[in-house]
Chain A
């Protein structure tokens, strides 16, 4: 599976959009981009995934560049409850065998 690179940390003001970048320059054509988050020692929570197209659900939007070498997770209106570690994962498995890196620690401040 392709390796991902994320910034170790970022801050965001409550109510503003949080844009979380992820670099996956070695991604192959059949690899999905997944985002999970982990709130303070809880089990990780699925956010969104995509293959080529941009995706949106009730939690977030995923923007994948045309060459698929990077992506951005957008939390449109960050709340204090969005403070968590966010993991960007690239894998061919549609169900499991996720490889978690260190992720990005996002802190949402009032």
Chain B
């Protein structure tokens, strides 16, 4: 199993550009989520999904969209990037048994 994979590893955007961060898992996990981590801080939940076709907002959803068309994939879309979205983004998945598996992260800089 590859576990949770995220692409790209690094990305630099200009203000106003859009992009999609990719997240995939091969563990047949129902639950997937996106977090962001700003320097020196803990992770904050952006959006989450309890299964294909079902998504909901977390603590900091503004400026981000998600969709879940398959069990494996959970992309995060930035519609119009802002410098405040400069952060490290982590995707996670779990089945129902308490342990969440996190991906390696995407480091995003918005100029």
Q: A residues touching B (Cβ–Cβ < 8 Å)?
A: 32, 34, 36, 41-46, 49, 87, 94-103
Contacts and interface: CB of A to CB of B under 8 A. Distances in A.
Interface string B71-108: 00000000000000000101010111111111111000
B25 interface: no
B54 interface: no
Given A43-B105, A46-B99, A96 B92 contact: yes
B41 interface: yes
B45 interface: yes
B45 A94 contact: no
Contacts of B90: 43-44
B42 interface: yes
Given A95-B31, A95-B94, A96-B33, A42 B105 contact: yes
Contact of B43 (A42, A44, A45, A95): A44
A100 B95 CA distance: 20
B48 A96 contact: yes
A21 B33 CA distance: 28
